[in-house]
Amino acid sequence: MSGEKKAPYIVPIGPTHPALKEPVMFTFEMDGEQIREVDFAPGQVHRGIEWMGMRRNPVQIVHLTDRICGICGVSHTLAFSRAVEQVAEIEVPERADYIRTIIAEFERIQSHLLWAGVAAHELGFDSLLYLTWQVREQAMDVIENLTGNRVNYGIVQVGGVRRDIVPEQHKVIEDCLSAYEGVLSKLLDLFLHDRTIAMRCRDVGVLSKDDALKLCTVGPTARASGVNVDLRQDYPYCAYGDLEVRSILPDQYAGETRGDVYDRIVVRLLEVGQSCRIIRQCLSEMPPGEVTAEPKLAKLLAICKKASGEAIGRVEAPRGECFHYVLMAGKEAPHAWKVKASSYSNLMSWIPMLRGEQIADIPIIVASIDPCLSCTDRVAVVKGGLQSILSREDLHRLSVEKTRRLQQ
């Protein structure tokens, strides 16, 4: 550290590194402790789930979609089911929509708490990790009580849900919600008023509103930069149309939006409280009735087989919009199925966030968008050693061309 300027050196982080919860390869061009340029290469954990799905029928695929993500198990299944339901014109009973909403909101609670713990760990604050994960257990217990599983819930199916919520379970849910409302102010205090956390998170990893829009970020990452997007408010599905859902923006708490890591913590923690309110409202307004459109799986399969057409299912997963495209062509298996996990839209925001920051901030910035890489990864085909990189302009041109083709 003699102060002389050396040529930038390269620090590789990944594919496996303690800062990363899933494999991704970062290459940092460093100037001392400062990041000069950054590039990343996902694609280390592609699992070919879409390929598997195109050889199975929709009744089987929901079990695959449960396993796309270990955290948002219900979001992917919900998005896929909603796409198939639209193609096959299955009407989901209203009660099922409410149950789906309740499970989805519990998923958001446990996912955000899990993330908060990881964020604390990345900052070297392990006590907070243990605390948040201990708090999170209660949501996991309720999810187990409602669905029978802690992860890979297996409750959503095409046309409805597998299990009803019986009156005895209302008390379990209510206990959990009141416990959370009690502990949330403590968590907010610990995360947002701790001096060391503020020192490490304020004005770190800033994503401007402009960049957030340009890079098509979704979910809490976009909302923390002041972009007012939330599928639950903009494009209500399930029971959200009947409920009071307004997207949470950081200025509601701090009075200003800076788009930094701190704001992402604010948004996620406030969304835990919001989810509690949504679940409570769902419980009180849940209509009676059936929980599935077609309880007999063979019959359901027959309906799906006959269906043809294409549809998209969109769900606000804890990390942002989860998007499934399904094309059915009158066969048992879907003709095409495309999954876009929320992290797919958010990964690119790493570049403007990381540029100019310090090595020490890499873990927390990388974690701050709550990346879910195995849900996102694509297979990269390299033919004859040729690679091509598409810029934003190229992609825009291609999409315009495709729209023109479709219009003809």
Partner 1 sequence: MTLTAVVGEIILWTVIVSLFGLTAGLFLLGIDRKIAAHMQARIGPRLRQPFIDIRKLLVKENIIPENAIPWLFNLAPVIALVSSLVILLYIPLGSLHSPLGMYGDLILVMYLLTIPALATVAGGFASGSPYATVGAQREMVTMIGYEFPLAIVVIAIAWRLWAAGVAHPFLLSTIAGNPVWGLVGPLGIVGVVLLLIVLAAVTPAELSRIPFDTQEAETELAGGLLVEYSGRNLALFSLTTAVKTLVLGALIVAVFFPWNLSSFVAMPAGIAQLADLVFFLFKVVLVMSVIVTLVRVGMARFRINQVVTVYWHTFALIGLVGLLLLMADSALAGVL
CB of 125 to partner 1, least distance (A): 4
130 near partner 1, rule: CB under 8 A: yes
1 near partner 1, rule: CB under 8 A: yes
279 near partner 1, rule: CB under 8 A: no
CB of 27 to partner 1, least distance (A): 11
Which of 51, 130 has the CB closer to partner 1? 130
In angstroms, the Cα distances linking 305 to 80, 85, 297, 357, 391 are 16, 12, 12, 53, 40
Which residue from 6, 7, 10, 168 is in contact with partner 1, where contact means CB under 8 A?
Answer: 10
In angstroms, the Cα distances linking 76 to 73, 205, 316 are 6, 28, 10
CB of 358 to partner 1, least distance (A): 6
Residue 21 to residue 375: CA distance in whole angstroms: 13
CB 378 within 8 A of CB 46: yes
CB 257 within 8 A of CB 227: no
Which residue from 33, 89, 137, 234 is in contact with partner 1, where contact means CB under 8 A?
Answer: 33
Per DSSP, the three-state class of 287 is: coil
Which of 19, 183 has the CB closer to partner 1? 19
Enumerate residues 332-391 that contact partner 1 by CB under 8 A.
Answer: 358-363
CB 217 within 8 A of CB 225: yes
12 near partner 1, rule: CB under 8 A: yes
Which of 348, 359 has the CB closer to partner 1? 359
Count of C-beta atoms within a 10 Å radius of residue 327: 16
Which residue from 35, 120, 224, 369 is in contact with partner 1, where contact means CB under 8 A?
Answer: 120
Cα 138–chain centre separation: 21
37 near partner 1, rule: CB under 8 A: no
Per DSSP, the three-state class of 312 is: strand
Q: x/- contact string, 182-221, with partner 1 (CB under 8 A)?
A: ------------x-xx-xx---------------------
Which of 13, 276 has the CB closer to partner 1? 13
Tokens of 286: 């849940």
199, exposed or middle or buried, with CB in 10 Å at 0-12, 13-18, 19+?
A: exposed
CB of 225 to partner 1, least distance (A): 22
Enumerate residues 89-118 that contact partner 1 by CB under 8 A.
Answer: none
Per DSSP, the three-state class of 311 is: strand
β-sheet bridge partners, residue 372: none
26 near partner 1, rule: CB under 8 A: no
Cα 143–chain centre separation: 18
Which residue from 8, 11, 46, 236 is in contact with partner 1, where contact means CB under 8 A?
Answer: 11
Chain positions contacting partner 1, by CB under 8 A: 1, 9-12, 17-19, 33, 120-128, 130-131, 134, 194, 196-197, 199-200, 358-363
